[in-house]
Every structure is written in C-alpha cells, then in structure tokens.
Structure 1
Amino acid sequence: MRMKKVSFLLIALVVAAVGFFIGCSPAKEPEKMETVRVAEVTRSIFYAPQYVAIEKGFFEEEGITVDLKTTWGGDKTMTNLLSNSADIALVGSETSIYVEAQGAKDRVINFAQLTQTDGTFLVARKKPEFFAWEQLKGSTFLGQRKGGMPQMAGEFTLKKHGIDPHKDLNLIQNIDFANLPSAFASGSGDYVQLFEPQASLFEKEGMGHIVASFGKESGKLPYTTFMTKESYIKNNNETLERFTKAIYKGQLFVDTHSAEEIAKIIAPYFDDTPEELIATVVDRYKSQNSFATNPLLDKEEWENLQAVMKSAGELPQTVDYSILVNTDLATKAMK
C-alpha cells in the first residue's frame, strides 16, 4: 500500500514538473510576415478596396505586409514592375497588352481586378438646363493623356454618341494629368474629363458641373488590375493567392458597408481631402458599380477593353484572354 502511495506521488511530481517546464518554455515564434511591394499608378479613392484591405488588417491575416508606393503614371508603374522595383503593379490592363506587343519574354499577367469601370466624369463649365452629348460639338474639351484608359474610354463614349473627338471638338490633350484640374479652373476649356475627387470638388465650389459619367457610358472594363510578371507567379503562387484573398476581403467590405464607414477607414490616405467629400466620392463610385465586388477578371470585360482600345486606334494587336489573364488565383481566393 505504501509503495502504491509512493508511485502515485512520483507520478504527480513528474506531471507537475512537466507542466512547469512547458509553462516556462518560450512562446511559439509568430509566423514571419512576408513583404510584397506594390506600385500603384496613382493615389485615388477609386482604389478604396485596396486601402480598406490594408487598414482592416486583411493582409496581416494572410501573413503579408504591403509595401505600397505611388508611381504616378502607367509608364512609370510598368517600369517599376519590369525592373523588379515592385512585385505587383496596380494599373490599367491596357499596359499589359502594350508590353506583350513589344515582345516581352516575361509576360505581364493580370490576376486580380480592382475596378471594373472607367472612373472619370464629364464636367461642364456652365450648368445646362438639360444635358445632351451633341452640346459638346464645337466646344473646347480638355481630355486625358493619349493612349491611357481614361482617354480611350472617353473617345469610345464620344463616338458612341456620334461625336468625332478629332473633328467635332477642339480637343486638347497636351496638359499633364496632374495639371488638368488647375487648367480648367483657370479658364481653359468648356468641358473637362476629370477623376474624383476633383469632379465633385469643382461641383461643390461652383466651378463646374458633373453632367455625365464615362464609367456608365463605356461599360465594364478591367480598368485597374493587379498584375505581375509570369515568373513571379511561378515562384510565388501561394503568396499571390493570399494577396488576392486579402483584396477580396477588402472588396466584400466595400460592397457591404456604407460610404461613410469606408471614408473613415481610408481617410489617412487622403490628408488634403475632407472625409465628407471622400464619402461623396465613394458613394458615387458605389452607385455606378465601379468597384469590382470580386477579383475575377472575366472574358467579356477583356473583350470590351480591346474594343475600346481599337476604337481609339490604340490596340497594337489583339491578345487572347487566356494569354494575359490568370483566373486561378482569384478563383482560389474566393473559395
């Protein structure tokens, strides 16, 4: 009987000792975060789902730290990607077609769509009693840079309404993107094609009036897409799947929350823009379905993109959807 008591006592001591050492052992090291470098073509409220994904910690949940930089322009953004200064580019899908036409050995692949319409608006200097597209004929129109998606979507829309932008308008395209708002504000042009928040700001200050949306008029397009080199997909497939999953979470959040809630979250990215104006812009984009609700770039959008490029005389060659679009990552991320 005494031997049994001793045995039980020894077992109890061993169990206690094991528990003590387990409790005192170092905590498990947290998984190492992976840094992904993203070059965005501009800083825009248009990209709200991306900023929401960062601020809400959706990338952290996927073990990713986003190193985000704004590269101001499609050419610079693509140069950053091709020179390995960025892992991922957020830019218009037309740039991947331009790179393909130049015979790139390492193709640039679209893998997650962020916006699905043009993001510009037609702003008139004088508020019309009613608006009709034919009112533009004979006017001076401040357009976007030749070869970029805003300009192509703009020309596509004008032609759809029977306006030849190069014959029926005094079309000005030599003003730098960043200087378009100030040029219009100083008195140049009867109409201007503007992104937000400048369009809403001009309307608020009585300097112009939004009369039409190029996003509504030109249809669904892979307007802004996350893309990367084919070699990066091959070597970092699992990372990209997690990245796409975080973007999808951001898209779902934007789709299911109010403009005011979204504005509060993304306000730190727009120091010079009042939160109320950010909410107005978000609401405008939400109302016309500009934000993609999932990262999947579908074939119909790709074909519409090439139709818009062809209409503007900017399509160097037709490229099949399957060549420059990867749907596997988006499909897996959405499961």
Structure 2
Amino acid sequence: MKRYVKIISASIIGFVLLFSIVACGNSNGQTVRVAEVTRSIFYAPQYVAIEKGFFEEEGLDVQLTTAWGGDKTMTALLSNGADIALVGSETSIYVYAQGATDPVINFAQLTQTDGTFLVSREKLDNFSWDDLKDTTFLGQRVGGMPQMVGEFVLKQHGIDPHSDLNLIQNIDFGNIPNAFASGTGDFVQLFEPQASIFEKEGIGYIVASFGTESGLVPYTTFMSKQSYINENEETVEKFTRALYKAQQWVDNHSAKEVAEVIQSYFDDTELELIEMVVDRYKSQGSFATDPILDKQEWENLQAIMEEAGELPTQVDHGTLVNTNIAENVIGN
C-alpha cells in the first residue's frame, strides 16, 4: 500500500501536464474533466451517458481521458488534473490512510461486481478450482481490486494463492494479455473483451467469473476530492443524474442496443464481440442500476482488502462515501 501511494506522489507533476494536453470533449456546457482508470466495455453506462447526450442535457461538457492505471488515475485527481475519477474504491481508502486533509469521496457507483474472468490456456470441459493447484497463475497488480478479488475467490475455494500455485504479479496491467499470449502462465485473470478475444482466437478459454464468485462490491466508482464536491455540489448532482439516466437506459435495453451506442469507443473490436461482452456483464449484474454505494458493498470491499493484507485501516462507510447526492437524484 505504501508503494502505491509513493507512486502517486512521484507522478503528480507529470500528470498535471498530461491531462492538460490530452483531455478532449465538446465545447458546450460546464466542463467536467473525468479520468477513467482504463478503457473498458465494463464501463458501458458511462459511454452511454456521453453518447445519448445525458450529460449534455444536464448542461455538462464531459472531457474524458483514460489514465491506464489506478495509481495514475488517482494522481490525476489529487494533482487537479481531473475533477472526477472513475477508479476502484480501494484507492480512496489508500489516500485516506495517508492522512489526506482533502479526502477523496465516492459519490456514484458504476460497477458492482468484479469485471475479470479466469482464462485457462487449455480447454477444460469440467473445470474445478482445484485445477489451479501447482500451476502458474498470471495475476494482476498487488493492491489493486482485480488482484485482491482474485485472491479472495481463490481462498474461498481452498486455494492459497501464495503457496498452492506459482503466482506472477510483476507484469504491468497493460502487458498481462501479451504475456499470456506469448506463453506465460497456465491461467490468467483478464478483463473483457480480452478474455473473449483470446477464446475466439484459441489462445485461452474462459472457465469462471470472478464477479460471480465474489459478490457485490463497489468495484469502480466516480469519486472526487471533498473540496470539489463542496464547491461544485450542483455540478456533481447533475453528473450523477446523467449517470443514473444511463444506468437505467442500459438496464432497459438489449446488449445489442448498448453495443451499438458504445461501439465508437472500441474501434478495434467487432460489434458482435462488444454485444457478447455487454450481455455477459448484464447477465451477471455487473452494471449498477443506480449510483448508490451502500454500506454492505463497502464492508464487503474492506473484507476483501483485509483478506489480501492490503487494508491499511478500517474506514466507516459515511467517511468516504456520500450517498446523499445519489439518493436525491433517484428521489427526484
């Protein structure tokens, strides 16, 4: 956890410059700079909110930038390179534990399950979690939600990730798929659409969903510094209202319709594959249907972090989560 925070601190100056250069959007309405942790079909409701004009209806010009990493996303937020971050809720706890005077507050939930899948190099018609024992497992970054959920699920199935298998965690997030494709690992934990692409190409086969196995958690949420929320409460409420419209739209429309709306965000992915991934996430309840991050989800998050040995301190739900904004939006 300390290493995570040091990376954030060391990157602040660079990200002030980066986000002032690459952020882009339309020029209408009040500007809101959003930094997303990665570009993913997992975040479909966010792209729907942009493409269906829900933010514009609220008078907001959302400028979306992809940071490619949790530490980089939080760096952008802390350095005022972004107004709002879309990233795992665990990052707000890490920052809080360092004694932040301007804590990062989770105000709207986007996804409510883990978004990764277990991919096997070999096709296993009758997969058992015991099949992982004595194999090489290509995991995610230490301290990040994907890795913590992965270890949590493995332990639920009686597998000690640090003694029952060869766990690899030193590969950068963006290079994990390439490492597996080049022959590293017997199993890998992957997001979509990479998991389905590998299955289509015969590189690997999806055998389990970490989202289904781990239950409801605030996996990715929109968050901002307390000072920004205090100074821009109406803007944050408008943002949350637009998001809620998109969440409801996604929930009430087919995977094909969702895929058609967000296709422009994934130029290198076939429409049919986007549709398949959206359907998979919809069917397992990954997309939150409202922006409220409730207490049970927050406690489940901390249980997963504690099991992974990455929880620096217990934090009450009300300390880093603001549900008033989302509740007002839904109530109205």
- TM-score of the superposed pair, with normalisation by structure 2: 0.91
Q: 1:331 aligns with which of 306, 312, 327?
A: 327
Q: Name 2:111's counterpart in structure 1.
A: 115
Deviation, structure 1 residue 243: 0.4
The answer as to 2:37 corresponding to 1:41 is yes
- Answering whether residue 231 of structure 2 is matched by residue 235 of structure 1, we say yes
Aligned to 2:50: 54
SS in 2 for 1:226: strand
In structure 1, stretches of 5+ residues that fail to align are 1-31
Q: Deviations over 1:81-117 (max 9, x none)?
A: 1111110000000000000000000010000000000
Partner of 2:167, secondary structure, is strand
Q: CA RMSD in A?
A: 0.7
Match for residue 71 of structure 1 among 67, 70, 73 = 67
Are residue 313 (structure 1) and residue 309 (structure 2) matched? yes
Inter-partner Cα distance in structure 1 for 2:281 and 2:167? 26
Secondary structure at the aligned position of 1:228 is classed as: strand
Structure 1 CA distance for aligned equivalents of residues 257 and 245 of structure 2: 15
Q: Unpaired segments of 5 or more residues in structure 2? A: 1-27
Of 286, 290, 295 in structure 2, the residue corresponding to residue 294 of structure 1 is: 290
TM-score norm. by structure 1 comes to 0.90
Counterpart of 2:277? Answer: 281
Distance 2:124 2:233 in 1: 52
Task: Specify the structure having the higher radius of gyration (Cα).
Answer: 1
Q: Secondary structure at the match of 1:163?
A: coil
Distance in 2 between residues matched to 1:99 and 1:180, nearest whole Å: 26
2:139 corresponds to 1:143: yes
In structure 1, the partner of 2:157 is 161
CA distance in 1, matches of 2:122, 2:253: 35
CA distance, structure 1, for counterparts of residue 194 and residue 237 of structure 2: 35
CA deviations over 1:219-269 (Å, ceiling 9, x no partner): 100000000011111110011101000000010011010111111110111
1:251 equivalent among 242, 247, 253 = 247
Q: Secondary structure of the residue that 2:275 maps to in structure 1?
A: helix
- Whole-Å separation in 2 of the counterparts to 1:71 and 1:262: 24
User: Alpha-carbon deviations, 1:15-38, whole Å to 9, x = none?
Assistant: xxxxxxxxxxxxxxxxx7111000
Shift of 1:129: 2.7
Offset at 1:207? 1.2
Which amino acid is 1:291 matched to? F
Moved more, 179-188 or 97-106: 179-188
Match of 1:182 in 2: 178
Q: What's 1:9 paired with?
A: none
Partner of 2:196: 200
Q: Displaced runs of 4+ in structure 1, greater than 2 A?
A: none
* 1:175 Cα offset (Å): 1.1
* 1:171-190 CA-partner distances (Å, limit 9, x unpaired): 01111111111111111111
* Distance in 1 between residues matched to 2:99 and 2:253, nearest whole Å: 43
- CA distance in structure 2 between the partners assigned to 1:210 and 1:114 by the alignment: 24
Deviations 1:130-165 (A, max 9, x none): 011011000000000110000000000000000000
- Letter of the 2:221 partner, please give it: T
Distance (Å, rounded) in 1 between the aligned partners of 2:181 and 2:299: 37
Distance in 2 (CA, whole Å) between partners of 1:109 and 1:187 is: 41
Q: Structure 1: how far apart are the matches of 2:208 and 2:72?
A: 30
Correspondence for 2:258 among 262, 266, 290: 262
**When the two structures are aligned, how many residues end up with a matched partner?**
304
Distance in 1 between residues matched to 2:41 and 2:199, nearest whole Å: 17
- Opposite residue 33 of structure 1, the aligned amino acid is G
Does 2:222 align with 1:226? Answer: yes
Amino acid aligned to 2:99:
G
Is 1:210 aligned with 2:206?
yes
How far did residue 199 of structure 1 move? 0.3
State the Cα deviation string for residues 46-104 of structure 1 (Å, max 9, x = none). Answer: 00000000000000110101011001111111111111111000000000000000000
Matched residues in 2 for 1:294 and 1:129: separation? 36
Partners of 2:168 and 2:227 lie apart in 1 by: 40
Q: Which amino acid aligns with 1:182?
A: N
Whole-Å separation in 2 of the counterparts to 1:281 and 1:34 = 33
In structure 2, the partner of 1:170 is: 166
The residue identity in structure 1 corresponding to 2:324 is D
